[in-house]
Amino acid sequence: MPLAVEAHQLVKRFSGRGGTVDAVRGVDLRVEEGEVFGFLGPNGAGKSTTVRMLTTLMTITSGTARVAGIDVSDEPDAARRGIGVALQEVGLDPRQTGRELLVLQARLFGSSASQAADRAQELLELVDLVDAADRRIKGYSGGMKRRLDLASALVHQPKVLFLDEPTTGLDPASRLTVWEEMRRINAQGTTVFLTTQYLEEADQLCSRLAIIDGGLIVREGTPVELKAELRRRRSLPQDPSLDDVFLDATGRTRERIAGQVQEVQG
């Protein structure tokens, strides 16, 4: 069985007039089918750049990546059919209704009108937007827009769903709803590759996770393994939290992290 996501020594170097930025400096990833894989890291760590390379949205400077067994550089079109992606910036047309958007997406992927209508209804149920389906998107809350964006990433039944900070900036109640949807999507057999700055989110949802900092992976494992490793190394009387693991891995303080999260929400 091919891995859902496999990357070898993935590198992204941005070169411009301002000089060069080594955003991703040699990342290896192995995500099994059916996992919810967490990709954690502070602002600027290289999460979005990695997601963009894995999803064919950005060229790879060096290294290789396969999604659902397909090399994303060699066969981008074939790879895209297996990939769903919801990016950090949600781009929805405010004048459309939620249902119109999903029907249009399904039509673009080659469904007939009646197939598209059925798929839209199915997805609206999945993300709990049936009641709002025929209202214009401009009246949706932030959480509803995120859920619609999630649904639109699933229209073509991708094998792997990439979500880039799907809950950043959401209020706690909306965040819980999105978590529930991610669980439901994963239970239907979709592998989820989730970037987040929220440690609790990773702890709740992810079977395995990697922490990236400065373009390099600094920790990898299950939440339980990562906590146990830190506990042993520091001879702690009890398991630390995933926050502690993150702070240890990135050498950051709580204050700096709090500042960063505020920046994102502001």
Please give the residue ranges that form the binding site for ligand ADP (CB under 6 A): 14, 21, 23, 41, 43-49
Residue 88, SS3 per DSSP? coil
Binder of residue 43, out of Mg ion, ligand ADP, none (CB less than 5 to 8 A by kind): ligand ADP
Under a CB-based contact definition with an 8 Å cutoff, are residues 21 and 14 in contact? Answer: yes
DSSP H helical segments within the chain, as ranges?
A: 47-54, 76-81, 98-108, 113-126, 142-153, 172-187, 199-205, 223-234, 242-250, 254-265
Nearest to 257 by CA among 208, 196, 188: 196
Tell me the CA distances in angstroms from 13 to 66, 74, 120, 164, 211, one per residue in order: 19, 19, 39, 20, 20
* Residue with Cβ nearer Mg ion (43 or 222): 43
With respect to ligand ADP, which residue has the nearer C-beta, 231 or 252?
252
Residue 49's binding partner out of Mg ion, ligand ADP, none, with CB under 5 to 8 Å set by partner kind? ligand ADP
For residue 253, the minimal CB distance to ligand ADP (Å) is 18
Closest to ligand ADP by CB, 121 vs 168, is: 168
State in angstroms the smallest separation of the CB of 210 from Mg ion: 15
- What minimum distance in Å lies between the beta carbon of 79 and ligand ADP? 20
- Closest residue (Cβ) to Mg ion? 48
* Residue whose CB is less far from ligand ADP, 45 or 185: 45
Residues near Mg ion, by CB under 5 A: 47-48
Q: How far is the CB of 43 from ligand ADP (least distance, A)?
A: 5
Q: How far is the CB of 41 from ligand ADP (least distance, A)?
A: 5
Contact (Cβ atoms closer than 8 angstroms) between residue 178 and residue 166? yes
* DSSP class of 197: S
Q: E strand or H helix at 11, and its extent?
A: strand 5-16
